[in-house]
Amino acid sequence: MYMPTLYINLQKLTENAATEKALLASKGIEVMAVNKVFDGCIETAQAVMAGGIEVIAESRTYNLKKIRATGCTTCLLRSPCLSEVKDVVRYADISLNSEPLIIRALAKEALNQGRVHRILLMVDMGDLREGIWFEHYEQILATVKLINELPGVELYGIGTNFNCYGTVLPTVKNGEDFLAIIKRIEVDCGISVSHISAGNCTSYHLLDKGLWPVGLNHLRIGGLHEFGIEYVDMKYLDEFHHSSKPVGKACSDLYQLEAEIIELNSKPTVPVGELGVDAFLQAKSFTDNGTRRRALLAFGRQDVPAENCIPVDDRITLLGQTSDHTLIDIEDCTSHLRVGDRVRFELDYTGLLMACQTSGVQRRFIR
Ligand SMILES: *Cc1c(COP(=O)(O)O)cnc(C)c1O
């Protein structure tokens, strides 16, 4: 049965994970690999583990259940729901938390299951998603004390996250402010915080510029080894494999989507007739480029949105998409395409996310 195919290069993923781990280790930083873009894919989790990374994070508990088969240490990235604490304790060794009510429930459940659940307590340094607000020091302190007092849970570390909701960049200033909060906690609680988890792949720009605040010793990273892109200044990094495409496209040759040509013809570039709205109720305007050769591909918006696909052949341009069809202009294409041939696209992060989420795309692994 036909399905568009997503090719994932596991060999490069392993190499990238090894490169990332070594690079960060040389600066005293431990890394947790984030697998969430692959939606619980066991093969990609194994690939980064082969690169030497031991802790794998996912944002959904049911995906941790799947990847636990690899023998990795598991971390739940999205803070647990109160309704799922049983499964969180069962399938996650570590979880990100900020709510005392949920931490108490996790502790109680961990006792029931005879386990110790580790908590990465989140502090919000300004990006406005998860975490106790950085100015509410007493609340942070009280929560650390709670974790230390409750049997069944253990403080894995204290973390913060940048550049997700609020677009707040990781900087020397907010990094040092975060570190200062932790130093104060260490003094007030008489403890040493083992994992000071400074952010995600966007924190890498500070390392790249030699500005890393010494003392921040942990990161939770996906995009860096997955795409080889430094996402703040948006550049491909030489030490990782990347794409031949302009960095503005932010795609990577580790992931290619392949779809079959179902119709080939030459047609006008402007529709003929009175125009209304398209399949998604959008009005459109068209530029008249005369009659051009084009192909109809068997994949659509419900698989991967066209704006997240970049043709591997630069002479192919994307014309548009409906739910199940993608239209490409092949007039300038030098290869002789026929019906039944397959056309390849590199994917950006969102494209990869969508391709991994849908049941309408099959996966092939390059080992
Ligand atoms: C997604 C996520 C990460 C990793 O993000 P990347 O951009 O893939 O590096 C880290 N921490 C949290 C809390 C996340 O949700």
| pLDDT, tens digit (0-9, with 9 covering 90-100), for 147-191 | 999 999 999 999 999 999 999 999 999 999 999 999 999 999 999
CA-angle at 260, arms to 258 and 264, nearest 5° = 135
Would you state the pLDDT for residue 71? 97
pTM: 0.96
Burial of 234 (0-12, 13-18, 19+ CB in 10 A): exposed
Q: Domain of 319?
A: 255-366
Atom index in ligand 1 nearest the CA of residue 219 equals 10
Q: Are residues 275 and 242 in the same domain?
A: no
Q: Are residues 15 and 128 in the same domain?
A: yes
DSSP letter, residue 79: P
Section 299-314 average pLDDT:
97
Q: State whether residue 354 is helix, strand or coil.
A: helix
Atom index in ligand 1 nearest the CA of residue 59 equals 15
76 Cα to the center of ligand 1, angstroms: 11
**Strand-strand pairing, 229-230 and 235-236:** antiparallel
Q: Are residues 156 and 185 in the same domain?
A: yes
Q: Are residues 219 and 125 in the same domain?
A: yes
Atom index in ligand 1 nearest the CA of residue 226 equals 8
The rounded distance, in Å, linking the Cα atoms of 220 and 78 is: 12
Domain C-terminal end among 216, 248, 280: 248
Q: Are residues 276 and 220 in the same domain?
A: no
Section 345-350 average pLDDT:
98
Atom index in ligand 1 nearest the CA of residue 96 equals 13
77 Cα to the center of ligand 1, angstroms: 8
Q: Are residues 265 and 234 in the same domain?
A: no
Residue 169 makes CB contacts below 8 A (sequence gap 6+) with: 162, 163, 202, 205, 232
Domain C-terminal end among 191, 214, 248: 248
For residue 240, the cross-strand partners are none
Q: Whose CA is nearest to atom 3 of ligand 1?
A: 200
Record the tokens describing residue 60, joined without a space. Answer: 């959904």
Section 227-253 average pLDDT:
92
**Strands (DSSP E) found in the chain:** 5-9, 30-34, 55-58, 73-76, 94-97, 117-124, 132-133, 153-159, 195-197, 218-221, 229-230, 235-236, 251-268, 291-297, 309-311, 317-321, 326-329, 342-348, 362-366
Record the tokens describing residue 9, joined without a space. Answer: 């290069």
Residue 165 near residue 129, CB atoms below 8 Å: yes
CA 339 to chain centre: 35
Domain C-terminal end among 193, 226, 248: 248
Q: Are residues 234 and 265 in the same domain?
A: no
CA-angle at 192, arms to 186 and 194, nearest 5° = 125
Atom index in ligand 1 nearest the CA of residue 201 equals 9
Would you state the pLDDT for residue 274? 95
Per-residue pLDDT band for 241 (boundaries 50, 70, 90) equals confident
> Ligand 1: does its nearest atom lie under 6 Å from the Cβ of 220?
yes
Q: Are residues 25 and 156 in the same domain?
A: yes
> Ligand 1: does its nearest atom lie under 6 Å from the Cβ of 76?
no
Residue 315 near residue 337, CB atoms below 8 Å: no
Per-residue pLDDT band for 299 (boundaries 50, 70, 90) equals very high
5 inside domain? no
Number of domains within the chain: 2
The rounded distance, in Å, linking the Cα atoms of 81 and 102 is: 8
> Is residue 48's pLDDT more than 90?
yes
1 inside domain? no
Per-residue pLDDT band for 248 (boundaries 50, 70, 90) equals confident
Would you state the pLDDT for residue 242? 84
Would you state the pLDDT for residue 279? 87
Residue 129 near residue 92, CB atoms below 8 Å: no
C-alpha torsion angle, residues 88, 92, 94, 95 (rounded to 10): -40
Residue 208 makes CB contacts below 8 A (sequence gap 6+) with: 230, 233, 237
15 Cα to the center of ligand 1, angstroms: 20
The rounded distance, in Å, linking the Cα atoms of 232 and 234 is: 5
DSSP letter, residue 142: H
Per-residue pLDDT band for 272 (boundaries 50, 70, 90) equals very high
> Ligand 1: does its nearest atom lie under 6 Å from the Cβ of 223?
yes
- Of 103-117, 148-162, 172-186, 269-283, the range with the lowest mean pLDDT is 269-283
Distances (CA, A) of 270 to 153, 275, 284, 290: 64, 10, 11, 8
Phi-psi region of 132 (alpha: psi -120 to 50; beta: other; left: phi over 0): beta
Report the CATH number that the domain containing residue 17 is assigned in CATH: 3.20.20.10
> Is residue 12's pLDDT more than 90?
yes
Distances (CA, A) of 297 to 224, 302, 303, 342: 31, 13, 12, 8
139 Cα to the center of ligand 1, angstroms: 24
Would you state the pLDDT for residue 117? 98
Q: Whose CA is nearest to atom 15 of ligand 1?
A: 77
Section 202-222 average pLDDT:
97
55 Cα to the center of ligand 1, angstroms: 14
Per-residue pLDDT band for 359 (boundaries 50, 70, 90) equals very high
Q: Are residues 199 and 58 in the same domain?
A: yes
> Ligand 1: does its nearest atom lie under 6 Å from the Cβ of 221?
yes
> Ligand 1: does its nearest atom lie under 6 Å from the Cβ of 161?
yes
> Ligand 1: does its nearest atom lie under 6 Å from the Cβ of 222?
yes
Atom index in ligand 1 nearest the CA of residue 222 equals 8
Q: Whose CA is nearest to atom 8 of ligand 1?
A: 222
The rounded distance, in Å, linking the Cα atoms of 146 and 161 is: 22
266 Cα to the center of ligand 1, angstroms: 45
Q: What is the pLDDT of residues 133-154, one digit of tens each?
A: 999 999 999 999 999 999 999 9
